[in-house]
Chain A
Amino acid sequence: MSAESPLRTAPDPARVPAPAGRGPASGREAVLAAATDGGGAGAGTPAEAVRGRAARAGARRLLWALPPVALLAVFFLYPLVLVGRQSLQPDTGGTSLRPYADVFASAGFREALWTTVWLAPAATAGCLVLGFLLALVIAFVPFPGAKAVARFVDVFLSFPSFLVTLALLFVYGQVGMANGLWTDLTGAAEGPFRFLTTPWGVLLAEITYFTPFVMRPLLAAFAQLDTAQLEAASSLGARAPRIVRRIILPEALPALAAGGSLVLVLCLNEFGIVLFTGAKGVTTLPMLIYSKAILESDYPGACVVAVVNVLLSVGLYGLYRVVSRRAGA
């Protein structure tokens, strides 16, 4: 939306559109424009001078956006382009699609691709449901210590993800807590819990680790929600499920969409949890990139997997954002 649109469309100063995210300059111009226009004094203003001023302001704003974009281009986009280039340069020299053919033909790659692709949505769904329920309780059924729990959720983000797997080793590992409890209770020689080295162990760790990423934006959104709405609905006889569905959920949708898309991509890209699981049966794409680049020094191969992984996560993330925008989130 350009700065000149209020000039053309604003007949009533009270209804001057005030779109969120206006720059200081445009906000000021909107107010001035509304004041002159609404006062009926705008008729004498030469339209061309106004348009010229708006164009200059637009150019200035673009100029202000340039430095951060330039930094991003040098330190992020340019390296990515180099990865794309390296993926087309096999160690034997020249430029060819051979690295792609080699990687796509390997069974290890296809298995890693499949594991990555089903684990991420499953973990995301779990995180969304769990995160919404927990954030709801913290924000709207507060108990003594609810603030401490919210702070605790923040700390969880600082947890290196593979530490969740480490903790799960002590809980569900071969000689961990759960199996220890089982052998103590039943007298059996071994406990029944041995899912940690399977994809299910990775799934549990990912849901545990990423749920706070959903809760955090949700709690922020809930903190801005006007509680008068809830009180009003409640005093008019709405029960809790209805209030959640009709008032809280619509308010929470942007946060849910943001958190959900973030978690989906972070799960696609998760490395620490899988690295630490150390199971031969569970290899995801990021794990494959690491082992090809650092352990095997196969840079073209690693770059090929990297390109595939980037296309997958960026594509899914873009799709998710478009869909959630369509859904009105």
Chain B
Amino acid sequence: MLVHSRKAKWAVWVLFLVLFVPLFALPLLVVLGASLATHWSGVLPSGPTIDHYRAATRGEALQALTTSLLTALAASLLALAVGTWAALAAAALKKSHRRVMDALFVLPVAVPSVVVGLSVLVAFSQPPLLLNGTRWIVILAHTVLVTAFAHQSVSAAIVRLDPAYEQAAASLGAGPARVLWRVRLPLLLPSLTAAAGLCFALSMGELSATMMLYPPDWTPLPVLIHAATDRGALFAGSAVAVVLMAATLLVLFAVSRVRTRASYR
């Protein structure tokens, strides 16, 4: 709709491919290729095998996958609840109060995740709340990290809401709770699911804070991948990475089924 002539369209698409493929598609393909290989010394990988996948779908790796899924699920649900609540509450406040609240909830994005990990480690290794060495400290850190993203995307969507709908509902006699439940939340649903997907994905791939915190019995996938590649098992690590990507993709797909109207063009 922006470029009309056939020639110009093709020129734009070729430019897109030239930028997109080497930068974004190639890394994924390379990891996929490496996960199926034992050597890589030429242009293409060599020594095809599926042994890495056998190892990546059982034992330690399978447990890490469950760990990652549970952590991401808990963290993104908690973050979505707190972030949406905060965004809705902030939207009703006076402008000065709203600014303060937005700034507060944006802070976890600005603070390095390594520092979030460090601070949670420092704070919850001592009474009154001793969480160090448990799975809860990992889930807590993930929740703190992704809440900011949930809050940001939900409040951005609230700003774009057309107030005419809720005003119409209110003028017809709907109470605030009813307006929220029947008008605002349904209108926000596409953004809520998008936020949930983002939170889940970020939590699945979180490494920095997790590296500071994880107990031995709660090892998420990224930590496992790092451990594998760190000891030189690049190809086995790639297979675990592919499993991580596939799991995330499946969940994102399921989430996008919930999405009703808004779609990318």
Binding site for B on A (CB under 8 A): 1-2, 18-28, 30-32, 35, 58, 61-62, 64-65, 67-69, 71-72, 75-80, 82-83, 86, 130, 133-134, 136-143, 146-147, 149-164, 166-171, 175-177, 180-181, 184, 207-208, 211-212, 216-217, 219-220, 222-224, 227, 230-231, 234, 240, 243-244, 258, 262, 265-266, 268-269, 271-272, 275-276, 285-286, 289-290, 293-294, 299, 302-303, 306, 309-310, 313-314, 317-318
22 contacts between A and B (CB under 8 A): A1-B95, A20-B159, A20-B163, A31-B170, A61-B89, A68-B82, A79-B119, A83-B119, A137-B16, A160-B205, A160-B207, A162-B222, A166-B237, A169-B234, A265-B110, A269-B114, A271-B211, A272-B208, A290-B211, A293-B118, A294-B211, A306-B114
**A286 vs B211: C-alpha distance when bound (angstroms):** 12
CB-defined contacts of B202 to chain A, threshold 8 Å: 157-158
Binding site for A on B (CB under 8 A): 1-4, 8-9, 12-13, 15-16, 19-20, 23-28, 30-31, 33-34, 40-45, 82-83, 85-86, 88-95, 97-98, 101, 103-116, 118-124, 140, 143-144, 147, 152, 155-156, 158-161, 163-164, 166-167, 170-171, 176-177, 179-180, 184, 194, 197-198, 200-202, 204-208, 211-212, 222, 225-226, 229, 234, 237-238, 241, 244-245, 248-249, 252, 256, 262-265
CB-defined contacts of A222 to chain B, threshold 8 Å: 264-265
A27-B166, A170-B31, A265-B109 known; A176-B2 Cβ under 8 A? no
- Taking A180-B41, A230-B1, A262-B109 as known contacts, 17 extra A-B pairs with beta carbons closer than 8 A to each other, sorted by chain A number, are A18-B164, A20-B159, A20-B161, A28-B166, A65-B90, A65-B101, A68-B89, A72-B104, A134-B20, A155-B201, A180-B40, A180-B43, A230-B2, A234-B1, A266-B109, A290-B211, A294-B212
User: Across the interface, do B12 and A175 meet the contact criterion of CB distance under 8 Å?
Assistant: no
User: Across the interface, do B122 and A175 meet the contact criterion of CB distance under 8 Å?
Assistant: no
Q: How many pairs of A and B residues are in contact by the CB < 8 Å rule?
A: 349
User: Across the interface, do B94 and A303 meet the contact criterion of CB distance under 8 Å?
Assistant: no
User: Across the interface, do B166 and A24 meet the contact criterion of CB distance under 8 Å?
Assistant: yes
CB-defined contacts of B237 to chain A, threshold 8 Å: 166
